Amino acid sequence: MTDIINLSRRDFLKTGAIMGTSLLLGFYMPIDSEGKAKVTSKTFSPNAFIRIGSDDTITLIINKSEMGQGVYTSLPMLIAEELECELSKIKIQPAPVNPIYNHTEWGAIQGTGGSSSVRSCWDQLRKAGAAARLMLINAASQIWKVDPSECRAEKGFIIHEKSKKRLSFGSLVEKASTVEPPNNIVLKSPDTFKVIGKPTKHLDTKEKVNGKAIFGIDVKVPGMLTALVARPPVFGAKVKSYNAENAMKVNGVMHIIQIPSGVAVVAKDFWSAYNGRGALDIKWDVGENSKLSTDELKITYSRLANTEGLIAKKDGEAKEQFKKAHKKITAEYEVPYLSHSPMETLNCLIDYKEDRAYIWTGTQMQTLDRNAAASILNLDPQKVFLYTTYLGGGFGRRANPHSDFVSEAAHIAKELKKPVKVIWSRQDDIKGGYYRPMYYHKISAGLDEKGNLNSWLHTIVGQSIVKGTPFEQALTKNGIDKTSTEGAHDIPYEIPNIHVDLHSPNVNIPVLWWRSVGHSHTAFVVESFIDEAAHLAKKDPYEFRKNLLKNQPKYLSVLELAAEKAGWKNSLEKGKGRGIAVHKSFGSYVAQVAEVSLDRSGKLKVSKVICAIDCGRVINPSTVEAQMESGIVFGLSAALFGSITIKDGMVEQSNFHDYQILTMKDMPKVEVYIVKSNETPQGVGEPGVPPIAPAICNAIFSLTGKRIRKLPINLNELKIT
């Protein structure tokens, strides 16, 4: 693995400057001192993303992190389509940190998130593949002394139409390296697609099943040590003093180092470090947060919810119209702090060599993590080489603008000047990690005499996740953290008077985006309350939504499709309830219908979920289906079990026994239906999460007549039996 990193990074350092080519994509081109493409007998590198070897291997350098969402399949499909090669021939190499690989929508940052991988690479990678194809065609035409228009690419070969001569891509690498990049690139017409849109199994499944796939936690280098950090039990606490005598007696423990986040125990292996950490005697200055609790925060948030915050949206005169409404309804909703809890716990390996450093980690934020490590190690960022491994889940936790787990490794490596891997245990992350914020909502609606919504007032209270991060300016407007109100300030329902405001209290609990970000709580509240308004109006919740969305065709298409496939108009068998929800996030429209029942003991059973999605043009239908199923599982886990609570400044949960996730026996049957679209691809990694909680809660109401306004769902609190 070290060789892979060195080769990749050094190639980029040797080839030097970023060259603005006619592709307008910021591609790099290997060039000589005269500005001509370098000739190599082994590799043809037409741009920053593609390498073609003389052995006919095709390597795609991917600037996105693979964490199970399928980008190591969908992105190669874009290249295979335009390059005209077999998908199975494409090998993947993670991109080094380089401005060439910056996110096309995020500015000067290389990273993965926001369900944007395919959308942000849609034009970029297709143009890269098409450029390479045209250069190979030109190379073959020069060899055959024919016009390029007489040649075509097919399955890794360039073919001359008249003579039927053919040359493999690999046989053309030397000649193609002398060809000028094309000035104009015409992409394939969608009606000629052979790869895009076809169900395709994930290319990395085999290596993940047979154990060959390398995740961050798997990486080992000669002389590597392992470190675990004892972090404060209370957020914001500091080390007052510590005694390492007993820890150093533990077999295998080699070093005890105090770093900004706590005290690190460095050992020959994980268990030695774990036992050594347990033997540490640390006295903490717990500070002012030692009395912090979620119960007290709830009281504070509830008070704030009854005052007006910063205005996120104001259409008409909602307050005045609400006072005049024929019928009124007001409700308060609560959602808790949530842990990301990816199956692979956090880890980072750094090999610090005085004048350079090598990092192996599963990260979603390559630029920020590389720069953080460089700053700590006092190195030029260009001397810090980061290799992105497979991620065993991310959900936003590995996209931390504060680079917590990478920074810890850098601090320890700086002291040791030896290869060291920091590993977080499950307990470490649940008790001392970053969380989806706790939110409190107060929402009111007014109906006119005909049962139509004429006023909507919505107050949101919760911490900002962007404050103090590099994303604050881009994601904040007039003091409003847009990620806190997304899905609320932009509701699609045709309501003439809307007022949405926000309070963002300062609380010393570390918070971070969590899969589907603000939509994870706003969808629950908005879609639950729309159901409440429908009930007040004595209207069917599906028909009520349809009327309010009559000028929103994309919402309507998924809503109607989900209702049709669920048999909404058909009566349910006794003992079952059905609920519906529709929501747009990350460019995609998703509607879900959930069926629920109660067993003899009163336990909730979610038996079936129907999901309809419009995510623009589909690259891989199999991935869309898998991500909708994945989002439903993730959202169900949170709706049924997820809750991080704090008492005396400490997180009460510690592992999967008290921070539960959905198990196989609780998994409902899921059916996914995709709306056909010719528009630009949109997100699928996160949009499946937001609608599931309100769909379930609305189904519970249809079954029991009781409203769920607090997550996770607790039927005992409502005395439902």
Question: For 178-219, how does the pLDDT look when each residue is reduced to its tens digit (9 = 90+)?
Answer: 999 998 899 999 999 999 999 999 999 999 999 999 999 999
Give the whole-angstrom CA distance, residue 659 versus residue 639: 12
Contact 177, 38 (CB under 8 A): yes
Average pLDDT over residues 567-596: 97
For 209-241, write each residue's pLDDT tens digit: 999 999 999 999 999 999 999 999 999 999 999
CA 279 to chain centre: 37
**Structural element, H or E, at residue 507:** none
Protein fold of 2-202: Aldehyde Oxidoreductase; domain 4 (3.30.365)
Protein fold of 216-287+346-423: Aldehyde Oxidoreductase; domain 4 (3.30.365)
Give the whole-angstrom CA distance, residue 301 versus residue 305: 6
Q: Which residues of 602-640 are buried (b: 16+ CB within 10 A; e: fewer)?
A: eebebebbbbbbbbbbbbbebbbbbbbbbbbbbbbbbbb
User: DSSP 3-state assignment of 490?
Assistant: coil
Does residue 11 have a pLDDT over 70? no
Give the whole-angstrom CA distance, residue 5 versus residue 358: 8
The token pair that represents 287 in the structure block = 């500070």
Average pLDDT over residues 54-78: 97
Contact 229, 408 (CB under 8 A): yes
Handedness of CA 65, 69, 75, 80 (dihedral sign): positive
Q: 720 vs 605, which has greater pLDDT?
A: 605
Average pLDDT over residues 149-160: 97
Per-residue HEC secondary structure of 533-576 comes to HHHHCCCCHHHHHHHHCCCCHHHHHHHHHHHHHHCCCCCCCCCE
Average pLDDT over residues 427-454: 97
Average pLDDT over residues 619-638: 98
Does residue 288 have a pLDDT over 60? yes
* In the chain, % of residues over pLDDT 70: 94
Q: In what order do the strands lie in the sheet with 357-361?
A: 253-259, 262-267, 225-230, 420-423, 347-352, 357-361, 384-388
Report residue 403: phi and psi, to 5°.
50, 50
The domain spans of the chain are: 2-202, 216-287+346-423, 294-337+435-704
Contact 606, 636 (CB under 8 A): yes
Report residue 686: phi and psi, to 5°.
-120, -30
For 444-486, write each residue's pLDDT tens digit: 999 999 999 999 999 999 999 999 999 999 999 999 999 999 9
Of 335, 633, 306, the closest CA to residue 511 belongs to 335
**DSSP one-letter code for 406:** H
At residue 278 the predicted structure's pLDDT band, cuts being 50, 70 and 90, is: very high
Say if 216-287+346-423 and 294-337+435-704 have the same CATH topology: yes
**pLDDT score at 25:** 28
* In the chain, % of residues over pLDDT 90: 92
Does residue 4 have a pLDDT over 50? no
**pLDDT score at 601:** 87
As a CATH number, domain 294-337+435-704 is: 3.30.365.10
**pLDDT score at 94:** 97
Contact 39, 46 (CB under 8 A): no
Give the whole-angstrom CA distance, residue 137 versus residue 151: 6
Helices and strands (H and E) in the chain: how many: 19, 31
End-to-end alpha-carbon separation of the chain, Å? 57
